[in-house]
Amino acid sequence: MTHSNHSIVALVQMRSSENKEENLKASVDFISRAADRKASLICFPEFQMAFSPLKQSPKDLANNVAEYIDGGNFVSALCRSAKRNKIGVIATVYERNKNKNEFKVYDTAVIINNKGQITSVYRKLHLYNALGFRESDKLIQGNAIEKPVSTSVGNIGLMICYDIRFPEMSRILTVNGADILVVPSAWVYGIMKEDHWRTMIMARAIENGSYIIAPDQVGNIFQEEVWLQIHLAQFSWIWETNREWMS
């Protein structure tokens, strides 16, 4: 995405593995490549840290994958990379719950500025409990909409994936100053699901007069490989009210 003020935003469309160290290495590489291409901001999809298969237990996810935001290796490494490359980063992690008696984690997005500082932490409000899925079996619901944050590309409001189905949230963010909505996503594959995805992204942009940046996972349960080869550009989107960019 290149806007009229010449800001460049990079979107990462990735297939996260179950190995968070592998995904961290790939993420740091993406950050470096985006900076080399003069991007001011790089946005990762939901579940960047790791793919959690249905067979994985909540306890395993909490103990062996999730980390705290402060002091956790995954976010700390991204902060160092953001500072080193002088680029803003929007990343997603499984955030460890401080209640050690509950083996559930937060699905969390963070904004990191180009000095390597965390400027916003958003925990997903609307968990995907639909069509046979129950994210609440492993995840904890967040309890707040975070205020938009000023960045080098504009005022950003954070949402995550299933949040896009609830228009009140995007309206609250834009009324409070967001001119860009960033929606890291892992859109589960299914009949007509891509149409839902595209329609809601366009609707949120049009009704709020804002940009939408929506990087998406591919592969695993989120996207079939054949469709990826043919329609790669249709799953991560940037929309403005009267113009469309496809990553």
* Residue at 3 is within a domain: no
Note the pLDDT of residue 101: 73
Catalytic one among 20, 46, 104, 138? 46
135 has catalytic annotation: no
- pLDDT tens per residue, range 138-147: 999 999 999 9
Residue 202 located in a structural domain: yes
Which of 43, 95, 104, 124 does the annotation list as catalytic? 124
In a domain, 102, yes or no: yes
Q: Could you confirm whether 124 is annotated as catalytic?
A: yes
* 207: annotated active-site residue: no
Does some domain include residue 213? yes
Answer yes or no: is 161 within a domain: yes
* Mean pLDDT for the stretch of residues 16-29: 97
pLDDT for 132: 78
Residue numbers of the domain that contains 91: 9-246
The answer to whether residue 31 is domain-embedded is: yes
Say what the pTM is: 0.88
Q: Does 57 map to a domain?
A: yes
Q: What is the mean pLDDT of the chain?
A: 87
Counting residues of the chain whose pLDDT is more than 90, the rounded percentage is 73
Q: How many CB atoms lie within 10 A of CB 111?
A: 24
Which of 79, 104, 138, 161 is the catalytic position?
161
CA atoms of 16 and 65, how far apart (whole Å): 13
Number of domains in the chain: 1
Amino acid 227: pLDDT: 32
pLDDT at 100: 75
Q: Is 183 exposed, middle or buried (0-12, 13-18, 19+ CB in 10 A)?
A: buried
Lowest pLDDT segment from 92-106, 116-130, 173-187, 215-229: 215-229
Question: Considering the domain boundaries, does residue 1 fall inside one?
Answer: no
State phi, psi for 130 to the nearest 5 degrees. Answer: -160, 155
Q: What is the CATH number of the domain that holds 124?
A: 3.60.110.10
pLDDT tens across 80-112, in order? 999 999 999 999 999 999 887 789 999 999 999
93 bridge partner residues: 108
pLDDT tens, position by position, 188-246: 877 788 888 889 999 999 999 999 999 999 877 754 332 322 223 334 545 554 444 44
